[in-house]
Amino acid sequence: MSSFINTKKALLLVNPTSGKLKAKSNLFDMVSVLNREKIQTTVQITQGKGHSAHAAKDAYHNGFDLVICCGGDGTLNETITGMMEAKVKLPLGYIPAGSTNDFANSMGISVNPIEATEQIAKLSPVPVDIGQFNSNRYFSYIASFGIFTAVSYSTPQATKNILGHLAYILEGVKDLTNIQSHHVVVETKTQRYEGDYIFGAVCNTTSVAGIVKIASDLVATNDGLFEVLLIKMPKNPAELHKIVMGLSFSDFSDEIFEFFKTEEVQFFTNPDLNWTLDGEFASVEDGAPVIKNLHQAISIYI
C-alpha cells in the first residue's frame, strides 16, 4: 500500500479503433510506464462517439488528477470538448494513435505511444489555447472548410507518403474545372475580407493533415491568437501555380492568399458549407459561425 502514497490518479481513455491501432497492443506498457512514475491509472476503453467527452467531463468529480487520451485527433477533440464543459479543468495528456496526428506533430508530442507516455509521466503540463466554434463546439488545432478539408482526411496516410507533399497538392488542385469555391465574408474586430475561396482555416498548428503547412516561426500555441489562412479561387493556370508554390514553401505573401492573426473571427457564408473541427465534420445551421480563441484554456503535457 505504501507504494501508492503521493501518487496521482489518471484516467486513461483508449480508442480501440484509432487509425494505427497501436493503442491496444501497447496498453500494458503504457500503464506500466505511468505506474512506475507513481501515476495510478484507471483504463476506460471508449465504447463509441461521446464516451470520451462524457468521461473527461466527470473525471474531477470521480477523483482523478489528470486525464490521458489515446487515439487520433478526433479522440483528442472529443476529450477536450468534455474537459471544456467541466467546471474544473484537469491537466491533459495525449498519446497519439491516429493516422494523421497533426496536433502531436505540431506540439512536439512523440507519435511513439511509449515515448508519448513517458513525456506525460515526466514533463509538466503547459497551457495552450483552445478554439471555440460557436458556443457549443471546441477544437484543439483547426477549424477549416474547402478543398483540402475533406480530401486530406479521407486519404490514407500511406498514399500521402507515396505522393509526397508537393505531388499531393498538385493532385488536389490539378484541374481547375473540379475546384469548388465558396463566397465568404470574413470579419474580425478590425478587418473585413470578402471573396470566393477554395479553402479557409482558423488554426493553431503547423500542419493540416500533412498537406497545408505553416512555418513554425509563425505559430505560437499559447499566444491567444489564431492564424487564419484563406485561399482565393484561381482564375487561370498561373494563379493555380502560385497556390501550389505558396503551399509548398509556406509562403502566403501572394495576393492569392489572405493570411492574418486574430483572437476572434466570424464567417458569413452558405449554411450548407461543410466545416471540420480537428478533422471531424461540424454542421453550421445559420452559416455564420463565430470562432474564438480561448487563451490558455487547457494545460497539456508536452
**Which pLDDT score, from 0 to 100, does residue 177 have?**
62
Phi-psi region of 18 (alpha: psi -120 to 50; beta: other; left: phi over 0): beta
Secondary-structure breakdown of the chain: helix, strand, coil percentages, each rounded to the nearest 5: 30, 35, 35
**Which pLDDT score, from 0 to 100, does residue 298 have?**
96
The answer on pLDDT for 2 being more than 50 is no
* Burial degree of 58 (CB within 10 A; 0-12, 13-18, 19+): middle
Distance between CA atoms of residues 235 and 43, nearest Å: 53
**Which pLDDT score, from 0 to 100, does residue 1 have?**
43
**Which pLDDT score, from 0 to 100, does residue 28 have?**
93
Q: Residue for cell digits 498538385?
A: 170
Tens digits of per-residue pLDDT, 149-192? 655 555 555 655 555 555 555 555 655 567 889 999 999 999 99
Stated pTM of the model: 0.88
Tell me if 226 sits within 8 A of 261, measured CB to CB.
yes
Tens digits of per-residue pLDDT, 215-243? 888 899 999 999 999 999 999 989 988 98
Burial readout 159-183 (b: 16 or more C-beta within 10 A, e: otherwise): ebeeeebeebbeebbeeeeebebbe
Q: Tell me the CA end-to-end span of the chain in Å, nearest whole number.
A: 30
User: Which residue segments constitute the domains of the chain, with CATH numbers given?
Assistant: 2-123 (3.40.50.10330), 139-295 (2.60.200.40)
* Burial degree of 12 (CB within 10 A; 0-12, 13-18, 19+): buried
What element of type H or E holds 266? strand 264-268
Read off the pLDDT of each residue in 39-52 and give the average, rounded to a whole number.
94
Pairing of strands 257-262, 137-139: unpaired
**Which pLDDT score, from 0 to 100, does residue 193 have?**
98
Half-sphere exposure of 89 (CA within 13 A, CB side): 16
Dihedral of CA atoms 292, 298, 299, 302 in degrees, nearest 10, equals -60
